[in-house]
């Protein structure tokens, strides 16, 4: 139902069927002020084929004209970062694709002024003055944090974070906490990403789905996010920080065992002794074991050189523990370095966490790829943040965020530490989270390695066949389902009511509020 002059990252991500036809690109024409890519809808018979056009950024920022400005923008209910073609340059570039182009949606800059627009022509085709692929990458990699900041400010900030990691082992715990709390006051003022929920990226997805279904004049099929018709995913992970944590696993494992949950445990190879029988027992219970850096000194990902020196030992422990997953200590992360770790998946990014020493957020509550590595974002606030830094009395924020993610078909990925579970608020909070979703029949309760495997299977499967007779081809065909996005651009319908009967697919609970 779609053919495109160029690969469309949004379709690739959601596994929407389309064909790349480079001959369509002939119309892109050399010497155009901006490079325009085109998806043509084949539409219902008799209908005028309409297109989604978008500004390509694939040749790199240096190839873009001055009229395409990298910045922070707002459209409808989402903030985004990327190069946007501003007003005057646009109509000229579009004359080859249609007539009667006029702005239909305003795009605001960070100061709240109208800076650009989404355009429509007389036949109803749409032009996006930005590249969805670039916008998605800006979020996933957290590169957006550099937008609008001077190189000097960025260097200063990086030095501060490095200093914190280096100093931390020498600081008494109480002082560490005081420092983190005073960071909190500064971080509260950062307006992006929102906390505990930042749904800009997912609102963009919903808007694009609505737009494309409207252009096509029919629902848009895609490979369901979770296997076997489950409507959301719940993943439990733990980092074991010290010897104390290593002796206290049962504070968290106990209630899990009782309620029938499995979880993943990340150990630090060279900080304390990890007895083989602990690893074996967890695995026998169906749990997973992962690698949590090498020494937990904040230096594993400090430089390419040090990482190269440490990696063979990390790999050795990964083999010994049959670990396929990595969690970086203090969620320290470097987008370019993560895939070089050689793990199947990484889980060191948060969807939003302004309270970490390296604050930020990839804004995604779904898995995604960083080169060949699957990234599984942490999507609940960490125990330490909630109970020690912010002094929450109970698990209210955990449960409300998890409900929000359930309603949005997302992945709830929790990170808790047995080391902190000596705090009864934390231990009780964890138990109430587990109890809350314990008999939820809509959930896919999975280990992180199972989610990574599913995400790979999904990414190399396609929807084949024709309208009315779609089928999944590839490794996801056994467990995958096809869902549809509907033309109404509102979040509800774009949020994919199913073709198949899906447990909970039609479920609607009252909106979850954060205040």
What is the smallest separation between the CB atom of 268 and Zn ion, expressed in angstroms?
Answer: 7
Which is closer to Zn ion, CB of 239 or CB of 383? Answer: 239
Identify which range of 198-206, 231-239, 299-307, 423-431 contacts Zn ion by CB under 5 A.
231-239
Residue recorded with tokens 């032009």: 127
From the list 77-85, 120-128, 324-332, 349-357, the region that binds Zn ion by CB under 5 A is 324-332
Please compute, for residue 267, the number of CA atoms within 13 A of its CA located in the half-sphere on the CB side.
23
- Nearer Cβ to Zn ion, position 145 or 347? 347
Is residue 351 a contact point for Zn ion (CB under 5 A)?
no
CB of 455 to Zn ion, least distance (A): 24
Strand duo 78-85 + 68-75: pairing: antiparallel
Backbone dihedral angles phi then psi of residue 205, each to the nearest 5 degrees? -55, -50
- Minimum Å distance from CB 331 to Zn ion? 8
Among positive and negative, which fits the CA dihedral 262, 268, 270, 273? negative
Please tell me whether residue 329 binds Zn ion under the rule CB under 5 A.
yes
What is the smallest separation between the CB atom of 468 and Zn ion, expressed in angstroms? 51
**Angle, in degrees to the nearest 10, between helices 250-259 and 424-436:** 20
Asked if omega into 196 is within 30° of 0 (cis), the reply is yes
CB-wise, 73 or 265, nearer to Zn ion? 265
427/449 Cα distance (integer angstroms): 25
Measured from the CB atom, is 59 or 170 closer to Zn ion?
170
Size of the site for Zn ion (CB under 5 A): 3
Q: Does 121 bind Zn ion (CB under 5 A)?
A: no
Which residue minimizes CB distance to Zn ion?
239
35 or 348, CB closer to Zn ion?
Answer: 348
Buried b (16+ CB within 10 A) or exposed e, 289-303: bbbbbbebbbbbbbe
CB of 318 to Zn ion, least distance (A): 17
CB of 285 to Zn ion, least distance (A): 22
Least distance in angstroms from the C-beta of 328 to Zn ion: 8
DSSP per-residue string spanning 228-276: GG--EEEEEEEEE-SHHHHH-THHHHHHHHHHT---EEEE-TTTS---H
- For 158, counting Cβ atoms within 10 Å of its Cβ (0-12 exposed, 13-18 middle, 19+ buried), the class is exposed
Q: How far is the CB of 296 from Zn ion (least distance, A)?
A: 6
**Residue 125 CB, nearest approach to Zn ion (Å):** 50
Which of the ranges 141-149, 233-241, 317-325, 454-462 carries the binding residues for Zn ion, by CB under 5 A? 233-241
Interaction pattern, residues 241-260, with Zn ion; x per rule: CB under 5 A: x-------------------
> Least distance in Å: CB of 322 to Zn ion?
21
Judged by CB under 5 A, which stretch of 99-107, 237-245, 269-277, 374-382 contacts Zn ion?
Answer: 237-245
- Report, in Å, the least distance between residue 165 CB and Zn ion: 12
CA distance 75 to 145: 19
Handedness of CA 190, 368, 333, 395 (dihedral sign): positive
Binding range to Zn ion, per CB under 5 A, among 51-59, 323-331, 399-407, 489-497: 323-331
**Residue 298 found at the interface with Zn ion (CB under 5 A):** no
Q: Does 300 engage in binding with Zn ion (CB under 5 A)?
A: no
| Contact (CB, 8 A) for 291 and 321 | yes
Taking each helix axis from N to C end, the angle separating 132-140 and 200-216, rounded to the nearest 10 degrees, works out to 160
Q: Which stretch binds Zn ion (CB under 5 A): 11-19, 134-142, 329-337, 440-448?
A: 329-337
CA 273 to chain centroid: 34
- Long-range residue pairs from 121-125, CB within 8 A, at least 24 positions apart, any chain: 121/94, 121/97, 122/98, 123/48, 123/50, 123/98, 124/48, 124/50, 124/215, 125/50, 125/51, 125/52, 125/53, 125/97, 125/98, 125/215
Does residue 221 bind Zn ion (CB under 5 A)? no
Q: In this chain, which stretch among 185-193, 235-243, 404-412, 418-426 interacts with Zn ion, using CB under 5 A?
A: 235-243
* CA dist 307 → 166, 241, 342, 374 (Å): 16, 20, 12, 20
Exactly one of 121, 131, 239, 383 binds Zn ion (CB under 5 A); which one? 239
198 or 375: CB nearest Zn ion: 375
Q: Using CB under 5 A, list all residues that contact Zn ion.
A: 239, 241, 329
């Amino acid at each position: 139902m779609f053919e495109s002059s160029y690969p469309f990252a949004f379709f690739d991500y959601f596994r929407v069927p389309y064909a790349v036809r480079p001959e369509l690109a002939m119309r892109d024409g050399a010497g155009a002020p901006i490079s325009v890519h085109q998806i043509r809808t084949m539409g219902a018979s008799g209908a005028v084929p309409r297109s989604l056009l978008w500004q390509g950024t694939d040749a790199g920022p240096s190839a873009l004209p001055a009229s395409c400005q990298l910045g922070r923008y707002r459209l409808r209910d989402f903030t985004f970062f990327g190069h946007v073609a501003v007003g005057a340059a646009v109509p000229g570039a579009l004359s080859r694709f249609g007539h009667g182009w006029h702005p239909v949606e305003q795009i605001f800059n960070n100061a709240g002024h109208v800076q650009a627009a989404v355009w429509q022509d007389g036949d109803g085709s749409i032009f996006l003055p930005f590249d969805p692929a670039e916008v998605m990458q800006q979020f996933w990699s957290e590169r957006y944090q550099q937008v609008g900041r001077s190189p000097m400010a960025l260097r200063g900030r990086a030095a501060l974070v490095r200093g914190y990691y280096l100093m931390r082992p020498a600081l008494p715990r109480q002082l560490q906490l005081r420092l983190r709390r005073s960071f909190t006051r500064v971080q509260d003022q950062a307006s992006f990403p929102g906390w505990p929920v930042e749904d800009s990226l997912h609102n963009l997805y919903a808007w694009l789905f609505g737009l494309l279904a409207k252009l096509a004049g029919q629902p848009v099929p895609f490979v369901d996010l979770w296997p076997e018709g489950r409507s959301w995913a719940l993943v439990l992970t733990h980092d074991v920080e010290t010897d104390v944590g290593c002796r206290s696993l049962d504070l968290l494992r106990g209630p899990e065992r009782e309620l029938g949950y499995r979880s993943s445990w990340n150990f630090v190879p060279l900080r304390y002794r990890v007895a083989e029988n602990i690893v074996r027992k967890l695995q026998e219970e169906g749990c997973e074991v992962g690698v949590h850096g090498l020494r937990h000194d904040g230096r594993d990902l400090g430089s390419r050189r040090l990482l190269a020196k440490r990696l063979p030992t990390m790999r050795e422990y990964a083999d010994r523990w049959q670990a396929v997953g990595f969690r970086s200590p203090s969620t320290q992360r470097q987008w370019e370095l993560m895939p070089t770790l050689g793990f199947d998946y990484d889980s060191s990014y948060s969807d939003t966490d302004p309270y970490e020493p390296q604050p930020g957020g990839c804004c995604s509550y779904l898995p995604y790829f960083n080169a060949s590595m699957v990234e599984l974002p942490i999507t609940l606030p960490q125990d330490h943040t909630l109970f020690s830094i912010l002094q929450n009395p109970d698990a209210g924020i955990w449960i409300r965020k998890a409900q929000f993610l359930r309603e949005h078909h997302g992945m709830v990925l929790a990170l808790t530490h047995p080391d902190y579970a000596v705090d009864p608020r934390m231990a009780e909070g964890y138990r109430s989270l587990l109890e809350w979703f314990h008999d939820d029949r809509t959930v896919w309760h999975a280990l992180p390695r199972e989610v990574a495997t599913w995400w790979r299977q999904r990414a190399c499967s396609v929807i084949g066949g024709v309208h009315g007779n779609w089928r999944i081809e590839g490794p996801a065909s056994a467990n995958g389902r096809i869902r549809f996005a509907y033309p109404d651009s509102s979040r509800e319908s774009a949020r994919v009511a199913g073709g198949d009967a899906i447990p909970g697919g039609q479920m609607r609970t009252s909106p979850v509020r954060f205040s």
